[in-house]
């Protein structure tokens, strides 16, 4: 069985065989890996699992009778793929495996939808509050953001010496690190500018430490970091 081109034995009944516990351990692992990356097969598993659950509810054998083959006619449309003869009860563990897989697929669908909404919001045009910060240990400017503004912009005064890279660290009033990254140097003569996700910051004072680096992999700077201050405020 392969996990990227559907070329595995009895593809038409793969979801059914998986839920009925008829796959080998190796095929089951490969099929699960495939389902998590294939929307078509994930939908097939959901449809088949719902059908089996409906069958368990409405076609359970009388108490004390021996399990036998069941032929079922449904008034509603059949699943996307024809199901062959089903046996009651399901093999041990199959129902649990089906419920677990369906719940994981549902979680992934919700997570993808959330990421799509976040991406759409990120791509919309937006105004960005910005401030110019001068190197100083004194209290810096106050930047006010609204609930619709997702980023703030900071421009830093030029440094005594130019470097090809800069490490930027942002800390809150308690000294906790809230953001850190290595930045490319601006064009000669330009000031360093950054954008920060405003929703990652709570209202209050912040310190920005910027250290010049000789390379992106450097861990130390030849000079002491420059210190900048600002205060974030949210509109009520």
- Write the pLDDT tens digit of every residue in 166-179: 999 999 999 999 99
Specify the pLDDT at position 47: 78
- If you average pLDDT over residues 194-219, what whole number do you get? 92
Residue 26 pLDDT > 70, yes or no? yes
Name the band, by pLDDT with cuts 50, 70 and 90, for residue 123: low
134/11: higher pLDDT? 134
List CB contacts of 170: < 8 A, sequence separation 6 or more: 177, 178, 179, 180, 196, 206, 207, 208
Name the band, by pLDDT with cuts 50, 70 and 90, for residue 95: low
């Amino acid at each position: 069985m392969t996990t990227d081109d559907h070329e595995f034995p009895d593809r038409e009944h793969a979801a059914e065989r998986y839920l009925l516990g008829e796959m080998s351990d190796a095929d089951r692992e490969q099929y699960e890996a495939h389902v998590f990356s294939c929307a078509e097969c994930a939908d097939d598993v959901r449809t088949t699992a719902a059908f089996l659950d409906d069958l368990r509810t409405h076609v359970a054998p009388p108490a004390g009778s021996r399990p036998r083959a069941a032929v079922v006619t449904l008034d509603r449309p059949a699943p996307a793929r024809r199901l062959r003869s089903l046996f009651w009860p399901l093999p041990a563990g199959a129902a649990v495996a089906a419920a677990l897989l369906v719940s994981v697929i549902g979680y992934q669908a919700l997570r993808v939808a959330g990421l799509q909404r976040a991406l759409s919001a990120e791509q919309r045009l937006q105004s960005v509050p910005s401030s110019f910060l001068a190197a100083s240990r004194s209290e810096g400017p106050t930047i006010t953001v609204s609930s619709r503004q997702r980023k703030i912009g900071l421009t830093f005064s030029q440094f005594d010496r130019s470097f090809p890279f800069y490490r930027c660290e942002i800390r809150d009033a308690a000294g906790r690190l809230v953001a850190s990254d290595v930045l490319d140097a601006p064009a000669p003569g330009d000031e360093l500018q950054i954008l920060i996700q405003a929703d990652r910051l709570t209202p209050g004072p912040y310190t920005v430490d910027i250290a010049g680096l000789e390379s992106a992999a450097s861990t130390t700077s030849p000079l002491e970091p420059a210190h900048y201050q600002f205060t974030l405020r949210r509109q009520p």
